[in-house]
Amino acid sequence: MTQNKGISNNILELIGETPLIRLNTITKDLPGNYYAKYEGFNPGHSMKDRIALHIIEEAEKQGILKEGSTVIETTSGNTGFSMALVSIIKGYKCILAVTSKAAPGKINMLKAMGAKVYVCPAHVKADDPRSYYEVAKRLHAETANSVYINQYFNHLNTEAHYNSTGPEIWQQTKGEITHLIAASGTGGTISGVSKYLKEQNPTIKTLGVDAFGSILKKFHETREFDKKEIYPYRIEGLGKNLIPSATDFNVIDVFEKVTDEAAAHRARELAVTEGLFAGYTSGAIIQATMQYAEQGMFNADSKVVLILPDHGSRYMEKIYCDEWMKEQGFFDSQKHAHQEVEFI
Ligand code: PMP
């Protein structure tokens, strides 16, 4: 790993080259071998560091970004943090238009990373001038030498994973990977990695993870936009209510949907079984792995790589908070008894 190579010139040199870690306990009843590509090891604690660096460096090559220029995006999540991080080192301003639904802690995190944050009303239509899409578009139009990242509709998002995450997994498994399991939000990760891996070995199967309440699985199966599939759900970062052009549905073999509750429990189980403190979608990926295994997807020779997108620290107010779990009706006092805090 780059991390062991002595002095780094700046934090951006530590993006990527994340570890692949064997799962020893949580998958012990499943046939085959399971490995976690743990993206929480990136300096910004998620795989979005990879796309931030790639998209910003491509804009530099095209002469759009120069010192003092501005990077604009519409997310309070992992991508916002990564854009802010890369902007600091590169000397760019970072503007993030976020919805008023974003938790105060998230906005504080982006401010801590030097971003200028615009909080936009959540319950307005996408084409309302106050919506975060419209605010970002307007700021982009008004700001010279700015780049609007627009990750859902930017092929460089997918390319970042084709160039880095895909080759890393191929090398780390010495080309022996048989199955890839990844979440799909923008689709950048699953599409870029799958395209690279299938070019090396077309027999590799790519298994997508979607949420109940999202359109992706149904669209993959029918190529129809069935609005009935869309309803609110809790998992953040996975699934979608629109079809992102960053997703290449042709390189995904199948999708499996998971529930909010099962995903939350699996994330907590991953922490206490493997010591991997990862995010909500990582729990979704573990749950989907169990569902795929139940369907007979794997055998004793399977070498399955699960991409765990981010670190658990982003979810302290949610899946790692017992109060939040109770509010959702997810808390299982027997399961979590050993984690009870005792006040002396
Ligand atoms: N998990 C988390 C926590 C994310 O933030 C995202 C990005 N929206 C994803 C999974 C999905 O990754 P991608 O956008 O590359 O499909």
**Residue having the nearest C-alpha atom to atom 2 of ligand 1:** 237
Statement: residue 1 has pLDDT above 50: no
pTM: predicted TM-score of the whole model, two decimal places: 0.95
Task: Mark whether 38 and 79 lie in a shared domain.
Answer: no
Please tell me whether residues 132 and 276 are part of one structural domain: no
Same structural domain, 123 and 251: no
Task: Assess whether 141 and 176 both reside in one domain.
Answer: no
CB contact at 8 A, 220 and 208: yes
Query: Quick one: 203 and 310 in the same domain?
Result: yes
Give the model confidence (pLDDT) of 20-63 as tens digits.
999 999 999 999 999 999 999 999 999 999 999 999 999 999 99
42 & 168 share domain: yes
Shared domain check, 126 and 59:
yes
* Residue 4 lies inside a defined structural domain of this protein: no
175-209 pLDDT tens trace: 999 999 999 999 999 999 999 999 999 999 999 99
Instruction: Answer yes or no: is 257 within a domain.
Output: yes
pLDDT at 3: 54
343: in domain: no
226 domain residue, yes or no: yes
- Atom nearest to 282 CA in ligand 1: 1
Are residues 300 and 289 both part of a single domain? yes
Q: Considering the domain boundaries, does residue 196 fall inside one?
A: yes
- In the chain, the number of structural domains is 2
CA of 22 to the centre of ligand 1 (A): 22
Nearest residue by C-alpha to atom 6 in ligand 1: 237
Question: How many angstroms does the Cα of residue 150 sit away from the middle of ligand 1?
Answer: 14
Catalytic residue numbers, as ranges: 48
Tell me if 104 is assigned to some domain.
Answer: yes
pLDDT at 236 over 70: yes
The domain in which residue 105 lies consists of 47-148
Q: Which CATH number is 270's domain given? A: 3.40.50.1100
What's the 234 CA to ligand 1 centre distance in angstroms? 14
- 158 belongs to a structural domain: no
Shortest-distance atom of ligand 1 to CA 188: 15
Residue-level pLDDT at 255: 98
Same domain? For 318 and 184 the reply is yes
| Among 124, 148, 172, residue at a domain's last position | 148
Same domain (yes/no): 26, 59: no
Report the atom number in ligand 1 closest to the C-alpha of 192.
15
Q: Are residues 218 and 310 in the same domain?
A: yes
Residues 188 and 76 in one domain: no
251 in Cβ contact with 198 (< 8 Å): yes
Could you tell which of 51, 189, 251 is best to mutate to test the pocket of ligand 1, judged by most ligand atoms within 8 Å of the CB? 189
Measuring from each residue's beta carbon to the nearest atom of ligand 1, which residues come in under 6 Å?
Answer: 77-78, 183-190, 237-238, 279, 281, 309-310
Contacts for 55-63: CB closer than 8 Å, 24+ residues apart: 55/147, 55/149, 55/151, 55/154, 55/156, 55/157, 55/160, 56/83, 56/86, 56/87, 56/90, 56/92, 56/147, 58/156, 59/147, 60/90
* 136-173 pLDDT, tens digit each: 999 999 999 999 999 999 999 999 999 999 999 999 99
CA of 308 to the centre of ligand 1 (A): 10
Query: For 60-104, how does the pLDDT look when each residue is reduced to its tens digit (9 = 90+)?
Result: 999 999 888 999 999 878 999 999 999 999 999 999 999 887 778
Decide if pLDDT at 115 tops 60.
yes
ipTM: 0.99
Residue 333 has a pLDDT of 74
* pLDDT for res 4: 62
278 is a domain residue: yes
